[in-house]
Homo-oligomer: A and B are copies of this chain.
Amino acid sequence: MAKALFDKVTLIGLGLIGSSLGHAMKRGGIAREIVGHARSTKTLQTALKIGFVDAVFEDMGRAVEDADLIILCVPVGICGSICEQISPHLKQGAIVTDVGSVKGAVIAACSPHIPAGVHFVPGHPMAGTEYSGPESGFAELFDNRWCLLTPLRDGDQQATTKMIDFWQACGANVETMSAEHHDVVAAVTSHLPHLIAFNIVGTADDLEGITKREVIKFAAGGFRDFTRIAASDPTMWRDVFLHNKDAVLEVLGRFNDDLGALTKAIKDGDGDKLFDQFERTRHIRQNILDDEQDK
């Protein structure tokens, strides 16, 4: 077995991402010891029983004591308050990271609570499923997926390098960028699609003249693809939209402008405009498939 990257890693939050990280660390021999903390005793018991952690602590302070790496696997809205709580218990030289889908707001909330001599390296693994909880995790979740790191401008370079190694050992491809750029990239490729999916599924559920039963029965016509992403964790997504408000509203504005133009083309019976748009989006799909083949 390769030498472990970290002696002791603490997972705060043992849901889909936390449990998958536990499994991935076990698979790769990445940590000598993995300890976990979660709010509910039941989650702690489940995690221990499944075995993706070696020990669990009801007390968050005790969970992070002596840890070399602390990973916040919680909705972005509570990252700041967790940093505040663990702050007095962090050891010198430790690395704190997170897995939130928003980076600017998390950095603003966490940074004030990171003690001198502790390194904060914000991260965002772009991986997930529509399932949640400690039983939903699996070691392969990050394999060949992207993890975006957004190191602070004055951040420790060695800590960043170590987090790159960590995510690669978990199976991910890593890219670093600024938090500002990350938040726009995530708004376009992830947050807007989720918002639209949540919305369209709600619209279909509300319509008169067509029963819920029919929507469900005939979902295979296209609607079904939206329901999978609209089944993602509500707390996580609430926090994403509350904390990446500006970038989301910006891309949403563009989406609305474009949809207005398509709507006008339908109203006007402008078949050429519709055809051109549909032909263009088809090429984008081909580019994505080509990109995946390259890997």
Whether A227 pairs with B288 at a CB distance below 8 angstroms is yes
Chain A 81-125 interface residues, beta-carbon cutoff 8 Å to B? none
Whether B227 pairs with A284 at a CB distance below 8 angstroms is yes
Whether A278 pairs with B216 at a CB distance below 8 angstroms is no
Residue of B nearest to A252 (CB): B263
- Do A126 and B193 form a contact, CB below 8 Å, given A198-B262, A223-B188, A258-B203? no
Q: Contacts of A158 on B, CB cut-off 8 Å? A: none
Q: Copies per complex?
A: 2
Q: Contacts of A274 on B, CB cut-off 8 Å? A: 234, 237-238, 241-242
**Is A139 in contact with chain B by the CB < 8 A criterion?**
no
| 0/1 interface trace, chain A 135-157, chain B, CB 8 Å (1 if under) | 00000000001101000000000
- Do A198 and B269 form a contact, CB below 8 Å, given A130-B285, A188-B204, A209-B184? no
CA distance A267 to B227 in the complex (A): 24
**Is A55 in contact with chain B by the CB < 8 A criterion?**
no
Q: Contacts of A195 on B, CB cut-off 8 Å? A: 259, 262
CA distance A274 to B274 in the complex (A): 32
Q: How many of chain A's residues have a CB under 8 angstroms from any CB in B?
A: 91
Whether A281 pairs with B215 at a CB distance below 8 angstroms is no
Binds B, one of A28-36, A39-47, A243-251: A243-251
Nearest chain B CB to A249 CB, angstrom units = 6
Whether A190 pairs with B227 at a CB distance below 8 angstroms is no
Whether B231 pairs with A285 at a CB distance below 8 angstroms is yes
Max chain B C-beta neighbours (<10 A), residue from A193, A235, A279: A193
